[in-house]
Amino acid sequence: MELQAGDKAPEFKTKDQDGNVVSLKDFKGKKVALYFYPEDDTQVCTVQACNLRDNYAILKEKGITILGVSPNDEKSHKKFEAKYKLPFTLLVDEDLKLANKYGVWAEKVLYGHRHMGIVRSTFLINEDGKIHHIIKRALSKTHTQQILKGWGMD
């Protein structure tokens, strides 16, 4: 069943780019933007991450915690973080558990070819752990604006 605004956000526990275990419970009482992206250090994913980096001060000022999720491992996330000086947490989802829980591992079509992959999506999770808003088509160049609008802060 597809997640919707108002649903309880699926709980998770995974590692971040530094090997720390992170769970959704760690962010109770905070606004979270949980964004799923296909792969570290690829063109569109880098534009998206850098948009969040460049607007990080605004997001932080508004009390929004950014968590990026992709199927890459810790080492890949660490390189991506260092290369682009990303100030936020990147979560490891090699087994696709998070992607499946949030319904973002799906069939995609690229140049007429069908394949399974991450659908670029962002879940805005409120202080009570409920989904406030879902950005089903995250735009790499304007992702921060989409997040702020989703929270009604635009």
The residues assigned a catalytic role are 45
Give all strands (DSSP E) within the chain, no chain letters: 13-15, 21-23, 31-36, 64-70, 89-92, 105-110, 113-118, 121-125, 131-135
Q: Please, what is the end-to-end C-alpha distance for the chain in angstroms? A: 30
Give start and end residues of each alpha helix (H) in 1-154.
Answer: 43-54, 56-61, 74-84, 97-101, 143-150
